[in-house]
A = this chain, B = another copy of it.
């Protein structure tokens, strides 16, 4: 049975009220605060219908209603009207990200910004290595038998690996290595590089072969096959703001947030930079996060996302504002990284 107009209006009103008050909302209060043009009794009937349809529940008999996951989902998908970004917010975004000096700095500022705009916990993933292209590969001779491989990607990410060599390596060899590696790998996407990299030892002069084999081994193993994905977390203090929402649940949430794996999975399924993804309450994969909602999006220029970012908060978060903020920040970060 389709829900007619007014019922939807009632649902929206309930969700909005509940989000701002965090208390079960009753028919009388609803009739007073929103001019729906009908009496509380009528609203009660609608509420009963909405409850039957699974959009609302009553915590206990003599209380008002609160939205269910299904209710929030419907709200987000069909009822919520995106709130445009205020001028102040726009300015805040610019001001915050303006002065960043390097990638680390950009991401640290981003996470802070997100936390501040949304009053939630914020998560930002480093630009994924595998989806980046090689900008430069540097070979540094720390000592005669110890080389450092420095990989710089187009997104500004810098990874280094120390490689202990069995024999000493001369400075000439290092220069040659540097040249060879760069010619072959520059502008290649790392995801497509494994073939090129594993062929490398066979295509270089024999005297370079042992060294190249070592280096490509490290390259393949730690940067291509098992690239280290990283995330930045911030605004955990905001969890306590909603302490009332998950009384004894802060603990597991904080614990989950300390697990890189969890955070990565949270953002890892994000692919398109164009569409915000909202996972509400028990739609989340992780047990500990069943009492929270996650709003995430990819960032990056073009079609494929370099990484994901998002926020996590109580299911009763202000979805319209949050969605607006998250996507605005993602867009801006995308531009920033493309431009630098």
Contact = CB atoms under 8 A, between A and B. Distances in A.
A152 B140 contact: yes
Interface stretch (A57-65, A80-88, A203-211, A250-258): A250-258
A32 to B, nearest CB: 32
Interface string A154-172: 0010101110000000000
Interface stretch (A17-25, A44-52, A233-241): A233-241
Contact of A138 (B102, B135, B150, B254): B150
A142 interface: yes
A262 interface: no
Contacts of A102: 160-162
Interface size class of A (residues with CB under 8 A): 20 to 34
Nearest to A105: B228
A136 interface: yes
Contacts of A241: 251
A124 to B, nearest CB: 14
Interface string A112-151: 0000000000000000000000011010111000001010
Interface in A83-116: 101-102
A152 to B, nearest CB: 7
Nearest to A260: B108
B258 A235 contact: yes
Contacts of A236: 236, 254, 258
A291 to B, nearest CB: 14
Interface string A199-242: 00000000000000000000000100000000000111101110
| Residue of A101, A141, A235 contacting most chain B CB atoms (<10 Å) | A101
27 contacts: A101-B161, A101-B222, A102-B160, A102-B161, A102-B162, A135-B142, A136-B140, A136-B142, A138-B138, A138-B140, A140-B150, A140-B152, A150-B150, A156-B162, A158-B158, A162-B340, A234-B258, A235-B258, A236-B236, A236-B254, A236-B258, A237-B251, A237-B254, A237-B257, A237-B258, A239-B254, A240-B251
